[in-house]
Amino acid sequence: MNDIHYNTRSSEWIGDMTVWLRDNAGDNRDQLLQLRRKLRQAREKELTPCQKRVVELCFEQGMTVTQAAELLQVAPSTVSRTLRRAKDRLRRCLQYAL
């Protein structure tokens, strides 16, 4: 074990731990690539066409719920509900993916 002294003041300790974590953390690139691949597959297979469109508008195009609702000519609450259901469905699909 290294003889590194960590300060006990909270802000300095957090900074020291951040440096330590960055230097000693494992590389998770492969897991992120696998997760992205599975997310793409889940979007294609598990979402309804409406859910796909709302996810695309809100996450890929960066629209707000209000902007997406105006474009789709529906109430913002409809877009919000659709987005929540899509995220729930994707979360369930990806829960056991990794």
The answer on pLDDT for 3 being more than 80 is no
pLDDT in tens, 18-45: 777 777 777 778 888 888 899 999 999 9
Q: Is the pTM of this model over 0.85?
A: no
Instruction: Please write down the long-range contacts of 76-79, taking CB distance under 8 Å and 24 or more positions apart.
Output: 79/54
Query: How large is the average pLDDT for residues 85-94?
Result: 92
* Tokens 């793409």 sit on residue: 40
Distance CA 60, CA 8 (A): 43
DSSP state of 58: I
Q: Tell me the domains of the chain and their CATH numbers.
A: 10-94 (1.10.10.10)
The answer to whether 81 and 69 are in contact (CB under 8 A) is no
Sign of the C-alpha dihedral computed for residues 57, 63, 66 and 67 taken in this order: negative
